[in-house]
Structure 1
């Protein structure tokens, strides 16, 4: 049965999708803008990459703590608070006189994102009736896909053309405008749900959850230990300029959106575990391909097509697997912790890369990325071993 969304719901969901686009672009644009950031503040690429790490680790801590201390407030209020903090952090970044100011600004942006990311989907879902929730969630998540497709390549281009300070000033302005858009179009009805700290620790103590979260952590560490240095890699290994960096990021974004169509069909036929295994094996094969191929920009772009396909297998499969593992009572907590572990992986992976790349260059990045993916495979195996006894115990309890 077709359940069309009302015009008011479409406007509200569009505002939330734009907010997700702004947050995702502002969070990850550092990766494509490393040379511009380094030039503007006279930093090394490693120092600039640590700003991505700092954001990821701040978000990882903020996201669950926001739910513990502020989760009972109205969700629109949380998102508006986050958009203001995110925007002010971006302005502070643009105006920072030196590296300590940049660090403080990224912490503020990370805290702001902790109010936004975990809440947007839930807020979008509560704006519509039950039959329309799948459609509503898809509309909200479109902002993340568009950030990969257009936002991050566009940010890299703006940074190369006008400089990193202009990029972050623009990010701050757009963040505040996005918050105003939400204020004018998204109704304030519907309170959130507070998560108790004891519930967080209870979930983390359970082996089947912790090993599943480690799968998420090591995958994102592996992906972002390479992605964080995509701009220096294009410059140093493939002799490409700023336009080549934008092209590489655009290939990742376009390929990711197109591959989503294939992945959604494959997900119907195969389990989350099989798709995770396939995605990780494809990533490892692609890393080997990058090492063996001549250092030609065209070869890198082809390899990035496979990279995008592999990561598109991984991201939704991780979320699906967490939903399947979690009990109804712990599902919300488990998904919040999944986001936390994901951004912790982004922070940790890019931090390791900032140490490895100056010492070992391109091959060092590939080696550490492959190591993280192997650890994710081991975590997946451990998670499956712990999951089976838990499932059997659950079945005995129902019997």
Structure 2
């Protein structure tokens, strides 16, 4: 049985160090979006093909995350996390020396393998470091790394890309990954292994009503975001006439407001419960999609719409992780791995849909596609809430 470690006082710096690992996963996965034009010019590929570099990372992550839980479940979570950071750094270096699009594509797959060992372990360790009444705050701090990847990592990558080129940017990211590894080594004392996990446990988690619906929600929410975000640079240029060198400003605006959403989410979840915060975030996200689609070529209003989109989009994740972590505490690591897999599978599928829609119908309809996918997410949440209220379960699911 997986034990929950409670440390007093609140283990802020240990949680912050875990957040830096999340930061590196987020920055590494999204850096190619920030470097779209530089990579496109350097390797002589169409800008739309950069979306596939996001896809291969995300798809590899999605399949590797739950399998890592099975194959390495007898190892300490701390060791799995550190190994993942080392692999991530190696993959970034290989990407920096790539001489072709295919070689960069392969390095992104290796990067996904490393990230698959990082995110679930960060969440599982972080959830166990804080007492239950502060779990929302703890999960918010850990997940804040991904939001800071938007506010700092991605726009800084875009800015550095214009100054020094995309290859040196990847080297810098590799160095920061190793620095994150050192911080975790010094500050995180959790050396526990998780509960023994088998392939049967994966099947069980994916067929239980409550856990499967929760995982599907994560997938749909992230898919909806990346149906537009994967091609946000050319979308802003096409609709609002934004210059190429100003895309870092768009990413910065998205990231700053995403951080605000994450900051609000943790305390709100502890006070009102994760379910209420989740539905609030989904409705607000839909309003952001409608705004970015509806407004005319007014750049200031575009930034307002992006702010709404980012705040409510990022508000979803820490209460969702809190909810999933408490479905079955004995298999917390597995459920969080499936959550992370769904998140990155959503990035992969959303990026693919973004490219598919652009090729056939152009950039204009991307926010409407995001909104359609979001409606499915809200429907799944409503069905899940109804099932939980009426005690409906499958396969012995804990309600």
Interval of TM-score (by shorter of Structure 1 and Structure 2)? 0.7 to 0.9
In structure 2, C-alpha distance between the alignment counterparts of 1:318 and 1:133, rounded to whole Å: 12
Worse overlay, 181-190 or 239-248: 181-190
Deviations 1:48-103 (A, max 9, x none): 11110111111111111111001221222212211111111111111111121111
In structure 1, C-alpha distance between the alignment counterparts of 2:220 and 2:358, rounded to whole Å: 19
**Which residue does 1:81 correspond to in 2?**
83
Task: Within 5 Å, give how 1:114-193 maps onto structure 2.
Answer: 114-124=116-126, 139-184=141-186, 186-187=188-189, 189-193=191-195
Worse overlay, 265-274 or 276-285: 265-274
Q: Is the 8 A contact 2:209 2:393 kept in 1?
A: no
**Which residue does 1:379 correspond to in 2?**
380
Deviations 1:334-376 (A, max 9, x none): 2221111111111110111122123322222122211211111
TM-score, scaled relative to structure 1: 0.87
Change (3 A) 1:322 1:134: closer
Worse overlay, 225-234 or 166-175: 166-175
In structure 2, C-alpha distance between the alignment counterparts of 1:42 and 1:132, rounded to whole Å: 50
Deviations 1:212-270 (A, max 9, x none): 22221111100111111111112222222344211111112222223444444543565
Q: Is the 8 A contact 2:147 2:314 kept in 1?
A: no
Among residues 16, 27, 30, which one is paired with 2:32 in the alignment? 30
**Cα deviation, residue 15, structure 1:** 3.7
Q: Is the 8 A contact 1:277 1:377 kept in 2?
A: yes
Deviations 1:138-163 (A, max 9, x none): 55444333222211111111122222
**Which residue does 1:346 correspond to in 2?**
347
Task: Within 5 Å, give how 1:1-399 maps onto structure 2.
Answer: 3-4=8-9, 12-124=14-126, 139-184=141-186, 186-187=188-189, 189-264=191-266, 266-267=268-269, 270=272, 272-323=274-325, 326-390=327-391
Q: Is the 8 A contact 1:157 1:242 kept in 2?
A: no
**Cα deviation, residue 169, structure 1:** 2.0
Worse overlay, 63-72 or 374-383: 374-383
Q: Is the 8 A contact 1:222 1:373 kept in 2?
A: yes
| Structure 2: runs of 5+ lacking an equivalent | 1-6
- SS of corresponding position for 1:390: coil
Worse overlay, 222-231 or 238-247: 238-247
In structure 1, C-alpha distance between the alignment counterparts of 2:310 and 2:302, rounded to whole Å: 12
Deviations 1:188-222 (A, max 9, x none): 74334432111110121223322222221111100
Worse overlay, 112-121 or 131-140: 131-140
In structure 2, C-alpha distance between the alignment counterparts of 1:37 and 1:303, rounded to whole Å: 28
**Cα deviation, residue 136, structure 1:** 5.9
In structure 1, C-alpha distance between the alignment counterparts of 2:188 and 2:209, rounded to whole Å: 39
Deviations 1:107-127 (A, max 9, x none): 100000011111123345667
Q: Is the 8 A contact 2:160 2:169 kept in 1?
A: yes
Change (3 A) 1:367 1:137: closer
| Structure 1: runs of 5+ lacking an equivalent | none
Change (3 A) 1:187 1:212: closer
In structure 2, C-alpha distance between the alignment counterparts of 1:129 and 1:318, rounded to whole Å: 18
In structure 2, C-alpha distance between the alignment counterparts of 1:110 and 1:231, rounded to whole Å: 23
**Cα deviation, residue 186, structure 1:** 4.5
**Which residue does 2:3 correspond to in 1?**
none
Q: Output the aligned Cα RMSD.
A: 3.1
Change (3 A) 1:134 1:346: closer
TM-score, scaled relative to structure 2: 0.87
- SS of corresponding position for 1:237: helix
In structure 1, C-alpha distance between the alignment counterparts of 2:272 and 2:9, rounded to whole Å: 30
Q: Is the 8 A contact 1:220 1:349 kept in 2?
A: yes
